[in-house]
A and B are shown apart, each in its own frame.
Chain A
Amino acid sequence: MKKITLIITLLFMVQLSKAQDSCASPTAIPGPGTYTVGVINGTAPTLFCADNGAIQQAIPGGEWYIYTPTAAHTVTVSTDITANTPRTDTRVHVYTGTCDALTCFAGDDDAGADYSSVVTFNVTAGTSYIIVFDNRWLDAAHNNGFSFRLTEAPVVVPPTLPVTYNSTSLATINSTFNICVVDVDGDHKDDIVGVSNNNLRVHYQGAGGITTPTDYPVAGTHFMPNWSMAAGDYNRDGKMDFILGAGSGLSVWKSNGTSYTNITPGDYIFCQRTNFADLNDDGNLDIFSCHDIAPNCYYLNGGGTDNALTFYQSNVTPGAMKFGTIGGNYSTLFTDFDNDGDTDVFISKCSGPPCELHRNDGNGVYTDISAIAGINVTPIQTWSSAIGDFDNDGDMDVIITASSGTHKYFRNNLDTTNTTEEAFTNITAGSGWDTNTSTNIDNVTYDFDNDGFLDVLGGGNKIMYNQHNSTFAPVSYPGLMIGAIGDLNDDGFLDILNGSTIRYATPNTNKWIKVALQGVQSNRNGIGARIEIHGAWGIQIRDIRSGEGFEFMSSLNAHFGIGQATTIDQVIIRWPSGLVDTYNNVTPNQRLLVVEGATLAASAFTNGVFSVYPNPTKDVINIQLKDNLSVTLKSAAVYDLMGRVVLTTTDLDRPINVASLATGTYILSITDSNNKNYGQKFVKE
């Protein structure tokens, strides 16, 4: 009895002695000064404002303080002080709010010397700030106490940045790989895609933003996207499919409308960048993978209902298309360099050989024009290049962004009035890329601040902002790393997914437009389409690409900023099929959904294979095959101009009955026995 009482008393005392070690009972900081933190053994924080996530010690701990200034200051909390000699590897988080609803306000891990912490933030009078140090880096041997200093200084207003980011962590973004942001379900809003062993986790974006996750179990043995991930609807079921690129091969997670199936073909590929692209221009998305130590590989998509994949390796498989003859392939970027309507291929290379540019000459013929284009400079070490129209002159320029060594900025001098293949010009000197010493394996270009010019996100926790004259200047963002990019709150500004953290861009006053595509005759996602916007700025262009940069998969919606312009004269979509949709006088700040052919007159669909009559129609559509064609039509689908399937049939021996359709304009898509698709518009009266 006595013993038990003693133990209870002891327990009570222990609790008492630790009472100030929790959020509920923090130690008050009266003002500026140096304060001693003992062994970190109080309640561990679970909300992390500084980098490096959860505490991984056997016994996670925290020491809690509260600071309520009586006037506004710029405050610095630092463990980089002489009292700590040598420095301790500390980490600090600063919250506002109440203990049951804390909000991150600031935080730091390693800004000080030798991994000490320094965090500066502006405070307002009367607000309480909770400051907590944790033992993220302090194992039992190093958890011996340290000091911190709080200083108050006159308020310093931070400089205005082109765009700022507000980070939010979502605990359910906890898949093994969280490297993909893309629309999965066909509503053209970007979703978050996670891959774990046998599980696909999607955080859909609903009306109110990112929602709770939906899990799709995927059976079977599969590779993980250790090296890269790509997305595309290669089986045209309206849901996104995925390529998971690993060091010994790739897996495809193929949607069947409501569930996913794993396909692992089994060919050895040391995958680096993977892509969906229509390599042979047949309207079906093929699968491409860079090979690290051998020539590049791809799978041709047979289309139809089974979308059979056939393996080819450049320079190895008889009859394979030519995408180089050796290894050292780190990223492919499919884009149209010569504005001839098909996608060419730029290959970023490392460990010796120069980068390659393969021109698409149609019918599966690719010609290596690296030397003519002059982009085959050595030495070069790049794992990915930033490619876009940086000077808004209507052609794609290249920044070979370095993984080691120096960056190289090449301007495209395309002149389509002649048949000469112009060389690119190296304009690195004075561009800001010559003085940028940050290197990275992953580099992508987007208009992050919506000013109408493409910027670059690469290494060094900074965005290289386009200064509108072919020069770039860095703006640092502590903690910012490259990740999957898309618009995760549909506000027209691009957000960045870094692990479980979403960095939402805080909109500035610049205007924007997003263009979402749904192909009919072309591949379903419009991958390979060129989008132009025309206005006071002249022209801006984007190509829809599955697989930018090295590792991540980012939005398939084209995103443009237009600065302070208020009107967009024209939006032009040049589909891989050759069809061209045009919108005049488009209102900014909207997501424009374009179903292939939506803006075209019925007579503009010269598919060369069939025509329909009557058009307009009240009840049936007759299909008239053109003479002397050996094409066999197999199935048909009818889409409304929102891209929804409203009718399908495989019975093409009799007229298609459209009597039940509402009055309006529709696009008829017919598939032939070679799985090629043809579009034709019709009007239902």
Chain B
Amino acid sequence: MKKSYLAFALCMLLTALYISCSDTDDEYVPVSPVNVDLTLVPYQKLSEYKFFEGGAMKDMVPSLNVIPYEPASSLFTDYASKKRFIWMPPGVSASFVAGNKILDFPVGTVLIKSFYYTTIQPGNVTKIIETRLMVRKEDKWHFYEYLWNDEQTDADLVSGTDFTTGGFKTITFTKPSGEEITTDYRIPSDAECFACHKINEIGTPIGVKPQNLNHSHMYGNTNKNILAKLVEQGYLDTYPANILSTVDYHDTTQPINLRLRSYLDANCSHCHQDEARCYYRPIRFPFSQTDVDSNIGICLLADEPISPTLTKVIAPGNYNKSIMHFRLSSNDESERMPLLGRTIVHDEGVQLLEEYISSLTQSCN
């Protein structure tokens, strides 16, 4: 108690001094505490980066120049909530490539993503499970995994064989439906990170495409377009006005096909796109390609039929006979899609798909 008062007083004093000493022309420039020395990264503790303001780190209040963002539609991972942030060193910025392409990030960029639940049982408490970092070094993107301690005061780097093996954390939480779920939450291994985060066998971020960021987000008390915020922050050079953009799949005011296509982009396109892990299947799920029936799988005979009567990826009007529905509804490792990142069925996603397939009237014959 005493100490913090002292620190506060000192702080006030320094601030006062600073202000009083400055010329009228000079503006006070606050300094970001973030500490990313690429030669030393990864640090053993997440706190060492100082991405989050002092006080309770578990509140994940971003430090200066750590910018929160959120894609319009996001990946389902066993109902985990997520907070995402981006940080860049001073003086550099990302360039716009195309609406459907990852921003071209400068060396030093860090993408921060924390996975947490607000309904952990018993007690219906909030718990952060893990924070994943992608750090752009000179050579390539590096993946780092931090596991939060039970006290929620900090997160430890998962390294060595722990990272090559990955792990499980048994959690019990309540789904939005009220159902209580106990599951072995998967902490990914480095190979699993790479399985999704790669294009042409080169590591890459997935969600930070302009098409997914071209919408409003609350910054302080202001609702601001995320891309505009990044430009304002100096993190992005520029972006055009007409970006073909995904929508929030929850948004029932949007057409069902845009909602489903946004959902597929967020959940499936990292593998089912050109040069990615599952490029050899003919389906293509990037938002910019799913306006074509055969890309999204309508009437498409699957390379891998499930049964003699379950052979089409999407059977218009009949979700029972649609492999996409079968795979989204299954928890079996070898049947389910997405393959990695979930162990339970996303009820709302399945419901969205059912609504979409029921709306289709194409005849396959």
Residues of A whose CB lies within 8 Å of any CB of B are 51-52, 86, 89, 109-110, 113-115, 137, 224, 226-227, 246-248, 266-268, 270, 292-294, 327, 350-352, 379, 381, 403-405, 439-441, 459, 461, 478-479, 481, 551
Contacts and interface: CB of A to CB of B under 8 A. Distances in A.
Interface in B179-237: 186, 189, 191-192, 194-195, 201
A403 B309 contact: no
15 contacts: A86-B317, A113-B365, A114-B364, A115-B321, A227-B333, A247-B333, A248-B168, A268-B164, A268-B189, A270-B191, A351-B278, A352-B201, A404-B280, A404-B281, A551-B334
Nearest to A226: B333
B309 A52 contact: yes
Contact of B303 (A227, A268, A404, A479): A404
B307 A52 contact: yes
B123 interface: no
A293 B194 CA distance: 9
Closest 5 pairs (CB-CB, A-B): A226-B333, A268-B165, A247-B333, A110-B309, A381-B280
A459 B305 contact: yes
Nearest to B189: A268
A586 to B, nearest CB: 39
Contacts of B165: 266-268
A248 B186 contact: yes
Contacts of A115: 309, 315, 318, 321
B280 A293 contact: no
B192 A293 contact: yes
Nearest to B307: A51
A351 B277 contact: yes
A227 B334 contact: yes
Contacts of A350: 280
Contact of B279 (A109, A137, A268, A351): A351
Contact of B195 (A114, A293, A439, A461): A293
A461 B164 CA distance: 40
A40 to B, nearest CB: 15
A479 B308 contact: yes
B291 interface: no
B304 interface: yes
A270 B307 CA distance: 25
Contact of A248 (B166, B201, B280): B166
Given A110-B321, A270-B191, A439-B303, A481 B280 contact: no
Contact of B304 (A51, A247, A352, A403): A403
B189 A246 contact: no
Contacts of B307: 51-52, 481
B294 to A, nearest CB: 14
Contacts of B334: 226-227, 247, 551
Contacts of A478: 308
Interface string B119-148: 000000000000000000000000000000
A108 to B, nearest CB: 9
B320 interface: yes
Contacts of B333: 224, 226-227, 246-247
B332 interface: yes
A441 B277 CA distance: 16
Contacts of A439: 303-304
Interface centre among A52, A227, A246, A440 (most CB of B within 10 A): A52
B280 A51 contact: no
A51 B309 contact: yes
Contacts of A440: 304-305
Contact of A327 (B191, B282, B317): B191
Nearest to A326: B201
Interface in B304-331: 304-305, 307-309, 315, 317-318, 320-321
A439 B304 CA distance: 7
A51 B308 contact: yes
A51 B168 CA distance: 37
B177 interface: no
B242 interface: no
B332 A461 contact: no
Tell me whether chain A's interface is mostly helix, strand or loop, or mixed: loop
Interface string B151-164: 00000000000001
Contacts, number: 84
Given A51-B307, A268-B164, A461-B308, 11 more contacts: A89-B318, A114-B317, A227-B334, A270-B192, A293-B191, A351-B277, A351-B278, A403-B280, A403-B304, A478-B308, A481-B307
Nearest to B340: A247
Nearest to A439: B303
A86 B318 CA distance: 12
Contact of B321 (A89, A270, A459, A461): A89
Interface in B263-296: 277-282
Contact of B365 (A114, A246, A351, A481): A114
Contacts of B280: 350-351, 379, 381, 403-405
B72 to A, nearest CB: 29
A294 B321 contact: no
A573 to B, nearest CB: 35
A381 B279 CA distance: 10
Interface centre among A351, A441, A479 (most CB of B within 10 A): A351
Contacts of B278: 351
B363 interface: yes
Contact of B320 (A114, A137, A270, A294): A137
A227 to B, nearest CB: 5
Contacts of B191: 268, 270, 293-294, 327
B254 to A, nearest CB: 24
B304 A441 contact: yes
Contacts of B304: 403, 439-441
A109 B303 contact: no
A89 B305 contact: no
Nearest to B164: A268
Contacts of A404: 280-282, 303
Contacts of A89: 318, 320-321
Contacts of A137: 318, 320-321
Nearest to A380: B280
A634 B321 CA distance: 61
A680 B308 CA distance: 53
Interface in B327-363: 332-334, 339, 363
A327 B364 CA distance: 37
B225 to A, nearest CB: 37
Given A115-B321, A267-B165, A403 B277 contact: no
B309 A109 contact: yes
B211 to A, nearest CB: 26
A403 B303 CA distance: 6
B58 to A, nearest CB: 28
Nearest to A313: B164
A293 B339 CA distance: 12
B25 to A, nearest CB: 58
A354 to B, nearest CB: 13
Contacts of A327: 191
Contacts of B317: 86, 114
A110 B364 CA distance: 14
Contacts of A247: 333-334, 339
Nearest to A139: B320
A24 to B, nearest CB: 30
Contacts of B309: 51-52, 109-110, 115
B295 to A, nearest CB: 15
Interface centre among A268, A350, A439, A479 (most CB of B within 10 A): A268
Contacts of A52: 307, 309
A627 B186 CA distance: 57
A481 B320 contact: no
Nearest to B186: A248
B174 to A, nearest CB: 24
Interface centre among B186, B305, B309 (most CB of A within 10 A): B309
Contacts of A381: 280
Contacts of A268: 164-166, 189, 191
Contacts of A293: 191-192, 194-195
